[in-house]
Amino acid sequence: MKTGGPLDERKAYILATVVYEYIATAEPVGSQTLTEKYDLGVSSATVRSEMAGLEAGGYLVQPHTSAGRIPSDIGYRTYVDQLMKPEQLGEGDRRRIREELHDASRELDEIIEHTTRLLGRLSNNLAFVTKPQADAHVFKHVQLIWLTPRTGVAIVVTSFGVAAQSLFELGTDVTLDELTRFSNALNARLAGRLLRDVPDAEVAAVAAEAGMGDDLRGAVANALRNARSNEQPGVAASGTQNLLDQPEFHDVRKLRSILRIVEEQKTLYDLVADTMDAETPSVKIGRELGNDELADLSVVTVPYRVGPNAIGMLSILGPRRMPYGRLLALAAGTADTLSERLSDVEIK
């Protein structure tokens, strides 16, 4: 299967129409259906020979000899990159998203969860949103709370509220005054800086200067590391049941893989981890997801921001046969609103 040269205009139009029709109906598209439903200006016989060409070029495949054609990964890819026209979100949808999100809580996690549910509902697919990469947040405060002479809690607060906590248990007694002094030492040095600009070594150094013991230092370092959470942020997901409507999932085996993936946040995150850096909308189609079990799924992903920095991603997972244009517009619109909302709740 060679990818063929560039498509001439008529081939391109026919490919676009096949993809469009297949997305709408979930049925393999034949030459006759095509000439009947769309005004191609040529007969079905001509369409047949063009389709044979598209199949030879790797854009279409035929499930069996006497069936119509469906797009291949390459066919969808060409459609998304070159053929489809970008869609805009209607003003109604846009307003509805804004209203829903602005009613929500001020807590970061709840905002993310709420956004995820909203996106799942509006997209009629499975939505998932990565929690913010906090390392671009501003460090506000660390508080060491004394509970008993040997236990306490270390709390890290950023410009988005409480970012992490860590219970600690010490080998030797510590007083309330000591904890207060430690907290002050850390705050004096760290307040106002970006989390990512605070290396572990510096925390250790400040702690050592202030005379903090090892276990206490460990607890603070631990809380800060959790706050940064830059290896692998949590992921919120919503809308699995929407996928059941799609005919492609009436096969139970496919559902297995999806359910497993949704339950294990890590796999879900891995699906989009590499698009995090790109900072632009991205579409992954079928085998491009790098997982054979997901070969007939696609994902669209759009980053959301605070200020200029992309700090997380909104994604929609659905059948390969998904309305790419609409979902991209929806994700982008939601990402915009989420970004605004996050700027609102950020403590300046």
- Using CB under 8 A as the binding rule, whether residue 67 contacts a second copy is answered as no
Cα separations in angstroms, 53 against 11, 58, 78: 8, 9, 15
> For the purposes of burial, counting CB atoms within 10 Å of the CB of 52, is it exposed (0-12), middle (13-18) or buried (19 or more)?
middle
Which residue is it, tokens 């297949």?
22
Q: How many CB atoms lie within 10 A of CB 244?
A: 9
- Using CB under 8 A as the binding rule, whether residue 256 contacts a second copy is answered as yes
Nearer to a second copy, 255 or 273 (CB): 255
Cα four-point dihedral sign 344, 346, 347, 348: negative
- Using CB under 7 A as the binding rule, whether residue 71 contacts DNA is answered as no
CA angle 248, 249, 252 (to 5 degrees): 135
- Going residue by residue from 1 to 40, which x/- string records binding to a second copy, judged by CB under 8 A? ----------------------------------------
Q: How far is the CB of 200 from a second copy (least distance, A)?
A: 20
Q: Which does 266 bind (CB under 5 to 8 A by kind): DNA, a second copy, none?
A: none
Q: Which does 26 bind (CB under 5 to 8 A by kind): a second copy, DNA, none?
A: none
Nearer to DNA, 67 or 208 (CB): 67
Pick the binder of a second copy from 8, 27, 209, 263 (CB under 8 A). 263
Structure token digits, residue 201:
């070594």
**Piece of the chain touching a second copy by CB under 8 A; list 258-266, 270-278, 310-318, 330-338:** 258-266
Closest by CA to 293, choosing from 323, 326, 270, 324, is 270
- Using CB under 8 A as the binding rule, whether residue 238 contacts a second copy is answered as yes
Which residue is it, tokens 């279409």?
60
State which of positions 31-70 bind DNA (CB under 7 A): 31-33, 42-46, 48-49, 51-52, 55, 62, 64-69
| Cβ-Cβ contacts under 8 Å for 254 (sequence gap 6 or more) | 248, 293, 296
Q: How far is the CB of 28 from a second copy (least distance, A)?
A: 22
- Using CB under 7 A as the binding rule, whether residue 303 contacts DNA is answered as no
Q: Which does 259 bind (CB under 5 to 8 A by kind): DNA, a second copy, none?
A: a second copy
- Using CB under 7 A as the binding rule, whether residue 11 contacts DNA is answered as no
Closest by CA to 169, choosing from 193, 138, 148, is 148
Q: What is the DSSP string of 83-109?
A: ISPPP---HHHHHHHHHHHHHS-SSHH
Cβ atoms 189, 120 nearer than 8 A: no
**Helices and strands: H and E segment counts in the chain:** 13, 10
- Using CB under 8 A as the binding rule, whether residue 106 contacts a second copy is answered as yes
- Enumerate binding residues for DNA (CB under 7 A): 27-33, 42-46, 48-49, 51-52, 55, 62, 64-69
- Enumerate binding residues for a second copy (CB under 8 A): 106-107, 140-141, 143, 145-148, 151, 153, 155, 157, 161-162, 165, 167, 169, 238-241, 244, 249-250, 252, 255-256, 259-260, 263, 345, 347-348
